[in-house]
Structure 1
Amino acid sequence: MVAITEFQKVGVGLSGFGVFFLLFGVLLYFDSVLLAFGNILFLAGLAFIIGLRRTAHFFFQRQKLRGSSFFLGGVVLVLLRWPRMGMLAETYGFVLLFKSFFPVVFGFVTTLFGLSRSSFSMV
C-alpha cells in the first residue's frame, strides 16, 4: 500500500474543487471567474500531489511543450476573460499532454465495471 502524505491529501482536495469549479463554470455558460478559479485550484492541487519540481518537469518536457503551451496558454486566456477560446485551447492541450495516459484510464474503468473486450462485440 502506498502511503499518502498530508500534502497529497490537500492536493487531491484542491484538484477536486478545481474540477468542480471548471465544470460549474462551463455549466454557467463559460463564466470566466469560475473557470479561472478552477484552473488555479487544479494546478495548485497538481503541484501539491506530485510536487512542484515534478510538476514543472512534467509540463516542460521537450516532447510535451506543444501540449503545455496550449494548456497553459488556455489558462492565461481564461484569466484574461476569453473563456471560450481559453477552454478550447486548454482542452486541446490536455489531450496532447495526457494522450499516453488515456489507455490506462480506459483499462481501469473497464476492469472497475467488469467489462471485457468481448462485451463490446456484437457477435
Structure 2
Amino acid sequence: MITITEFQKVGVGISAFGIFFILFGVLLYFDSVLLAFGNILFLSGLAVIIGLRRTLYFFFQRTKLKGSAFFLGGVLMVLLRWPVTGMMLETYGFVVLFKTFFPVAFGFLGSLGNIPFLTSLFNKLSGSSTSLV
C-alpha cells in the first residue's frame, strides 16, 4: 500500500481546489480569472504531490514535449486572458500527454463491474480482445 504524507495530502487538496476553480470557470462562460487561478492551483498541487523535480521531468520528457508545449501554452493563454483558446490548447495538450494512459484507465473501468453495455464499451476503448461483442 502506498503511504501518503501530510504534505502530499495538502497537495491533493490544492489540486482539488484547482480542478474546482477550472470547472467553475468553465461553467461561468470561461471566466479567465477563475481559470487562471485554477490552473495555478492545479499545477502547484501537482508539484506538491509528486515533487518539483518529478513534475518537471514529467512535462519535459522528450516524448511528451508536444503535449507539454500545448498544455503549458494553454495555461499561458489563459493567464493572458484568452480563456477559450487557452482551454482548447490545454485540452489538446492533456490528451496528447495522457494518450498512453487512457487504454489502461478504460480497461480498469471495464473490469470494475459486470454492467453489460459499459463493460463492452470500455473493453473496446481499451483495445482489449476479451470483449464478447
TM norm. shorter chain > 0.5: yes
- 1:22-66 CA distance string (max 9 Å, x none): 111001000000000110011011101111000000000111111
User: For residue 70 of structure 2, what is the aligned residue in structure 1?
Assistant: 70
Using the aligned pairs only, state the percent identity. 72
The verdict on how the C-alpha distance between 1:2 and 1:73 changes in structure 2, with shifts beyond 3 A counting, is same
Residue segments in structure 1 that go unaligned for 5+ positions in a row: none
- 8 Å contact 1:110–1:116 — kept in the other structure? no
- 8 Å contact 2:110–2:119 — kept in the other structure? no
Report the alpha carbon displacement of residue 6 of structure 1 after superposing the two structures with TM: 1.1
User: For residue 20 of structure 1, what is the aligned residue in structure 2?
Assistant: 20
User: For residue 42 of structure 1, what is the aligned residue in structure 2?
Assistant: 42
Residue segments in structure 2 that go unaligned for 5+ positions in a row: 121-130
Report the alpha carbon displacement of residue 122 of structure 1 after superposing the two structures with TM: 8.6
Number of residue-to-residue matches in the alignment? 123
CA distance in 1, matches of 2:119, 2:68: 36
- 8 Å contact 2:67–2:96 — kept in the other structure? yes
Give the TM-score taking structure 1 as reference length. 0.91
CA RMSD of aligned residues (A): 2.0
Name which structure has the greater RCO, CA cutoff 8 Å, separation 6+: 1
> What secondary structure is seen at the aligned counterpart in 2 of 1:63?
helix
> What secondary structure is seen at the aligned counterpart in 2 of 1:99?
coil
Give the TM-score taking structure 2 as reference length. 0.84
The verdict on how the C-alpha distance between 1:34 and 1:65 changes in structure 2, with shifts beyond 3 A counting, is same
